[in-house]
Amino acid sequence: MSGGMKTLGVYTKDFSLYHDLIVVLKHRVIPYVSLNSLEDIPRRVGVILTSEEELASVPLLKAVAVDAYESVDSAVDLALQKLTGKELYSKLFIGIDPGERPGIAIVGDDILLQKTSVEDPGSVISEVRRIQKVYPAKELGIRIGHGSVILRNRIINSLIPLEIPIEIVDETSTTLPQTQRFERDREAAAAIAMLAGGRVQTRLPLEPTRGAIRNVQKYSRQLTEGRLTISEDMALKVLRGELSLLEAVEDVHG
């Protein structure tokens, strides 16, 4: 490729915007170049992230005003898309690793575009909607790992109204490095996005198994460093999404 891969540039005198941007870029491990001036922009910079106020002063055709979007993440997504110059993907898969803080990854035409995680299972749908907006594709599919059955089924049931084909993938074959938990969720999501699975036809039951209940109780012990195990009733509420694990533990403590 001539000139190698282009990269993102960051230029703004707005300190808090700059800070928020750098946090997101580092969190998502996206390479960037900080620009102190717009005099001589390095040739490898393909898109500049800036503020709405400073947008007019940026000489590059490709610039994104970060504060014009609902979130810094959305602006970064758009900048990455301008950078790759890809307008439409033929096949896009969203991989989801179900759990307390689901990992989400996007694979477009066999290229890993993004890895992230959301705060809770209820937030998956808005993230999927955002991905739909940012990455137009002829064919879009959702692939979700088969783990955490109840959380998985809750996520699937929330996504069914979007009418995107959903597959459940057996990701046990994807062994992952022992990295930090949230990093592992994202890695798992990326692996899941690459695998084909069985199609989901209907809403799935949210009936907890004994094993699932015991698992949540085990997590509650880990979370409190062995000080406390939540009751089966509490564990059920967590599985049904009525409480987060943290709320259940605090409830007992409280």
Cβ-contact 114, 105 below 8 angstroms: yes
Stretch among 46-50, 107-111, 123-127, 179-183 having the lowest mean pLDDT: 179-183
Arithmetic mean of pLDDT, 82-93: 84
**Mean pLDDT score across all residues of the chain:** 85
Residue ranges of the domains in the chain? 7-84, 89-199, 210-253
Write out the CATH class of domain 7-84: alpha beta
Q: What angle (nearest 5°) sits at the alpha carbon of residue 141, between those of residues 136 and 145?
A: 135
Q: List pLDDT tens digits, range 56-67.
A: 888 766 889 998
CATH architecture of 89-199: 2-Layer Sandwich (3.30)
Q: Is the pLDDT of residue 250 over 90?
A: no
Task: Please give the share of the chain, as a percent, with pLDDT higher than 90.
Answer: 36
37 vs 56: CA distance, rounded Å: 14
Of 42, 38, 32, nearest in space to 8 by CA: 32
Count Cβ atoms below 10 Å from residue 173 Cβ, excluding itself. 8
